Amino acid sequence: PGHEAAREALVEALLDAGEPSRARRALDAWPSASRGRDPRHLRLDGRLALEHERRIESAAEVLGRAVAAAPNDAKARYLLARAFHA
């Protein structure tokens, strides 16, 4: 999808459905201009690393950047807390 909210919803739905490989492909298809800087991309990448790939340290680092970029993103804050607790 070309719309940011649609991309976000697609990745969320794939993660919720237990489709991490498809979610990774969707994240990798995120426009390169905003990949790694868009707080939504960072949050979703961190969620995938935390919940499905079990890369706790990487998830904490990415989620920390997501919270720094969007301090009011409650989902990112929650995921970061989970990563610190893991």
d(CA 62, CA 2): 23
CA distances from residue 80 to 33, 38, 68, 74, 77 in whole angstroms, order as listed: 24, 16, 11, 10, 5
Residue that is written with structure tokens 């995921």 in the block: 79
Contact partners, residue 67, CB within 8 Å, separation at least 6:
73, 76, 77, 80
Q: What is the pLDDT of residues 20-78, one digit of tens each?
A: 999 999 999 998 888 888 999 999 999 999 999 999 999 999 999 999 999 999 999 99
Give the length of the chain. Answer: 86
* 3-state SS assignment for residue 72: coil
In this prediction the pTM is 0.93
Residue that is written with structure tokens 């919270």 in the block: 67
The letter for the amino acid at 46 is G
Q: What is the pLDDT of residues 69-78, one digit of tens each?
A: 999 999 999 9
